[in-house]
Structure 1
Amino acid sequence: MPAPGPLRSLLADTTPLQHPHFRRLWTANIVTVIGAQLNIIVVPAQIYAITGSSAYVGLAGAFGLVPLVVFGLYGGALSDHMDRTKLLRITTTGMILTAVAFWAQAASGLDNVWLLLTVFAVQQAFFAVNQPNRTAVIARIVPVGSIGAATSLNMTVTQAGAVIGPVIGGLLIPVTGFAWLYLIDAVCLLSTLWAVLKLPALPPSTASLTATSAASPAASGASADFVPGSVKAGRPGFRSVIEGFVYLAAMPLLLMSFLLDIIAMTFGMPRALIPEISAVNFGEQGEGGLFYALLYAAMPAGAVLGGVFSGAVTRARRQGLGIVISVLCWGAAVTVMGLAVTAADGRAGVWAWVAVISFLLGGVADMFSTVQRNAMLQESADDRMRGRLQGVFLVVVAGGPRLADILHGWAGARIGAGPATAAGGVLVILGVVAAVAAVPSFLRYIPARFTVTERS
């Protein structure tokens, strides 16, 4: 094979698609994510249509956060103790049923925000068990060296769906209403169920704990006194969840990566304000609209762009420094977005486009950060703990935005969507600077695969 040229080295690494099980899941996900993103945009739109309040849209964050934390952590434990294929089949079926429930409540015309929030909470419970398990499966169906590339490919597809879904949803909500879009989500999920049914059995690993972190503490951020096997796998439950935290506690630099994501998403994710930005700051009439769709699509569009050109990121040696730079860029992009929203003053003019472009650039930065953090986690974890660590990762990655929904919804209702967004971006930058000042060694983090190569 010829040596890759400069451009090729920047493009996404597609070698994981050579593995049939991963390729099948990845292909099915192309369909599923479109429906999932329709659901993501329709739920807040329906809540805002029923209540006319960003505070209620933000309340959805609380209804999603509780099941996400509880079932995310427990789901990670289940993933380490039962056949991962079987668990995927159960949770995928549950997600299909909740999509049907969304359709039923919308089609009935009840307009009951509490019923809608309850269905949302149940959906998040199934998602919280499904996602860490699905991510943990990657390391069983692709080689270790391809985990980062596989993560980037998955995220690129997910974010591509997050571009198409909001554009379709934002434009179709005024035409079709909510019910039909929920039904499309249910149908799209059938593709993932098909791919999951094709997976082989993936029973729990019986190998002893030999985490990369234990073998190379300096590279992975594990504490020097961590001993392989000191965490024993028991039955799934509260004790099993605690064992995952004990294992994670021996990896302080991995904890730092989680903290940076919490800072970025909790303070810097203004998605709960998008309905208000569209209606108040950009003056769009009715439910949905062009900029409503574009704002939901902007961040994932940036993530797709970042995924396409993620080759250099997945091969990066200074991973800790890369994560810090990515999160700082995210904070700066959100700050500019908030200032543009404030300047728009009720008109969808040039400032609206500045806000959209800023959010798009933020999506590029967030993609780079997420790929590096996920690769850091997958490569440094033993398979017997991978599910539990992915459960914690899910709580951080998905829980941060739900906390942001609550905080931004509350702040937006009091000081306006623009100032709330800009203030959040500034807090991201300040939070990252403070975290790095407290743990400067994170800037020197290098993946173990590089240190092993250098020693050899």
Structure 2
Amino acid sequence: MITYVALPYQVKEITGSYVAVGLMGAAELIPLIVFGLYGGVLADSVDRRKLILIGESCALALSIMLLINAQLDNPRLWVLYVVGGAFAGVNGLRGPSMAAAIPRIVSHEDLPAASAIMGLRYQIPVIAGPALGGIIISIWGVTPAFSIDVISYALSLILLLQVSRIPPSEKTTPPSISALFEGIKYASSRQDLMGTYLIDLAAMFFAMPTALFPFWADQLNSPQSLGFLYSAGTVGALLVTLTSKWTLKVHHHGRAIIFAALVWGVSIALAGIFDNVYWVLLCLVASGAADHVSVIFRATIWNQTIPDELRGRLAGIELLSYAVGPIGGQMRAGGMAAVTGLRGAVIGGGLLCIASVTALSTVLPKFRKYDARTDPYAVSEREIRAARALSALKMEKPADEK
């Protein structure tokens, strides 16, 4: 996650341009779409652990490339764009396999709690990484930051080698274009799933401000706060994760996602109003908390209602829904800031988020009315997994009696 800070910072240092930093999103967009969809198809067809290992190995190689480039007297800008795009492709390849592994190892009833715990597993490095990266970069530059990422990916690869195989479902189909379209057709036939994708896509596209953080820290006369701008949102996410027991009592997940997206937009708009870095950070903490509430309930809908044989392909679509929005948001923020200034881009983005989420919620009534207790897809998956667990228990009994 240190690279998450170092890449845009290095682009900003080389170019000094809002647009150049925003174009990092353009470099990431196509690889993410292509490999995200293909990674989803592969996750339903091959050993998911193997895909994750391949992705982690590629991430290690890319980090080494960034480290070498940073040590040059004149670091190459094109390398940053190419490696940024390649990182997006790697995340697209391994992301669906990581998401699809969860329903295989967690019971149906425990999936909301698992979604919160997995959020904690991601949020701790996301908080520490950008904060540490911001401090390291402000004192020593990007070279030590990239060095730490190389070491972290190497350690991650060693640990992943200890994980057992995660083979595909028995109902799996070979990877193909038709298998991909089968997943897309299934997703588009369900308004509740489309709601989880579209609401988050709109919220992230219109209100994601991260491309502006290197400039925002300077405008606040607090360059040392760069890492904290990146980390503030995930502090809010961590607070939600640590107090997430209340999410088990919420059954109207669609309404919770809509409300969270609206709070996200309001928080970002308010952050753009303040000149004091502490108020800005507080607003970003609130935005991160709102976003993580959305993450928990979107993941719960996905994990509780999607059949295992389609889980990888749908995870690929999910990856696009929650990754394309932020990448497009970088482009939107950079371009808008070049025209309206930083403050206009942040406030305007928050207001556009509120308007778009409100509009989508009115045209997606099935998503708005989703109830985990009565939804036919959730009920069906609950029954299938209960029968599977009972069958496994019966098979274990003779061995125990012996």
TM-score of the aligned structures, taking structure 2 as reference length: 0.90
Q: Aligned partners of 2:193, 2:379: CA distance in 1, in Å?
A: 19
Residues 1:251 and 2:184 are matched in the alignment: no
Q: Is the 8 A contact 1:98 1:123 kept in 2?
A: yes
Q: Is the 8 A contact 1:320 1:443 kept in 2?
A: yes
Query: 1:198 corresponds to which residue?
Result: 162
Query: 1:40 corresponds to which residue?
Result: 4
Query: 2:32 corresponds to which residue?
Result: 68
Query: 2:309 corresponds to which residue?
Result: 384
SS at match of 2:109: helix
Which residue type is aligned with residue 251 of structure 1? Answer: R
Q: Is the 8 A contact 1:164 1:297 kept in 2?
A: yes
Q: CA deviation at 1:352?
A: 2.0
Runs of 4+ in 1 over 6 A off after TM superposition: none
Q: Aligned partners of 1:72, 1:121: CA distance in 2, in Å?
A: 12
Q: Aligned partners of 2:8, 2:312: CA distance in 1, in Å?
A: 30
Query: 1:282 corresponds to which residue?
Result: 220
Residues 1:296 and 2:230 are matched in the alignment: yes
SS at match of 1:73: helix
- Equivalent in 350, 366, 369 of residue 294 of structure 2: 369
Which residue type is aligned with residue 270 of structure 2? Answer: V
Q: Is the 8 A contact 1:83 1:203 kept in 2?
A: yes
Q: Is the 8 A contact 1:314 1:372 kept in 2?
A: no
Question: Deviations along 1:35-56, whole A, 9 cap, x unmatched?
Answer: xx21101111011011111111
Query: 1:212 corresponds to which residue?
Result: none
Q: Aligned partners of 2:184, 2:73: CA distance in 1, in Å?
A: 44
Q: Is the 8 A contact 2:265 2:350 kept in 1?
A: yes
Residues 1:182 and 2:121 are matched in the alignment: no
Q: Aligned partners of 1:311, 1:402: CA distance in 2, in Å?
A: 31
Q: Aligned partners of 2:154, 2:114: CA distance in 1, in Å?
A: 22
Q: Aligned partners of 2:374, 2:56: CA distance in 1, in Å?
A: 34
Q: Is the 8 A contact 1:266 1:400 kept in 2?
A: yes
Which residue type is aligned with residue 120 of structure 1? Answer: G
Q: CA deviation at 1:72?
A: 0.3
Question: Deviations along 1:164-195, whole A, 9 cap, x unmatched?
Answer: 22221112113221111112112112333233
Query: 1:26 corresponds to which residue?
Result: none
Q: CA deviation at 1:452?
A: 5.0
- Equivalent in 332, 339, 342 of residue 414 of structure 1: 339
Q: Is the 8 A contact 1:314 1:371 kept in 2?
A: no
- Equivalent in 221, 239, 250 of residue 305 of structure 1: 239
SS at match of 1:404: helix
Q: CA deviation at 1:447?
A: 1.4
Q: CA deviation at 1:241?
A: 1.3
Residues 1:101 and 2:70 are matched in the alignment: no
How many residue pairs get matched?
Answer: 380
Question: Deviations along 1:94-123, whole A, 9 cap, x unmatched?
Answer: 111111111111122332111111111112
- Equivalent in 196, 202, 205 of residue 263 of structure 1: 202
Q: CA deviation at 1:432?
A: 1.2
Q: Where does structure 2 lack aligned partners over 5 or more consecutive residues? A: 384-402
Residues 1:425 and 2:359 are matched in the alignment: no
- Equivalent in 46, 51, 67 of residue 82 of structure 1: 46
Q: Cα gap change, 1:240/1:416 in structure 2, threshold over 3 Å: closer, same or farther?
A: same
Q: Cα gap change, 1:142/1:169 in structure 2, threshold over 3 Å: closer, same or farther?
A: same
Q: Aligned partners of 2:18, 2:291: CA distance in 1, in Å?
A: 24
Q: Is the 8 A contact 1:267 1:425 kept in 2?
A: yes
Tell me whether 425-434 or 308-317 shows the greater mean CA deviation: 308-317
Q: CA deviation at 1:290?
A: 2.6
Q: Aligned partners of 1:290, 1:162: CA distance in 2, in Å?
A: 18
Q: Aligned partners of 1:412, 1:120: CA distance in 2, in Å?
A: 22
Query: 1:348 corresponds to which residue?
Result: none
Q: Aligned partners of 1:292, 1:181: CA distance in 2, in Å?
A: 14
Query: 1:9 corresponds to which residue?
Result: none
- Equivalent in 422, 435, 451 of residue 360 of structure 2: 435
Q: Aligned partners of 1:58, 1:139: CA distance in 2, in Å?
A: 35
Q: How does 1:118-197 map to 2 (within 5 A)?
A: 118-197=82-161
Q: Is the 8 A contact 1:330 1:363 kept in 2?
A: yes
Query: 1:28 corresponds to which residue?
Result: none
Question: Deviations along 1:65-92, whole A, 9 cap, x unmatched?
Answer: 1110110000000100111111111111
Q: CA deviation at 1:412?
A: 0.8
SS at match of 1:374: helix
Question: Deviations along 1:223-261, whole A, 9 cap, x unmatched?
Answer: xxxxxxxxxx54313222111101112211110111100
TM-score of the aligned structures, taking structure 1 as reference length: 0.80
Q: CA deviation at 1:339?
A: 1.5
Q: CA deviation at 1:323?
A: 0.9
Q: Where does structure 1 lack aligned partners over 5 or more consecutive residues? A: 1-36, 208-232, 345-350
Q: How does 1:319-398 map to 2 (within 5 A)?
A: 319-340=253-274, 344=275, 351-398=276-323
Percent of pairs with identical residues = 29
Question: Deviations along 1:300-347, whole A, 9 cap, x unmatched?
Answer: 11111111111112441111111111111111101101122xxx2xxx
Q: Is the 8 A contact 2:22 2:332 kept in 1?
A: yes
SS at match of 1:410: helix
SS at match of 1:144: coil
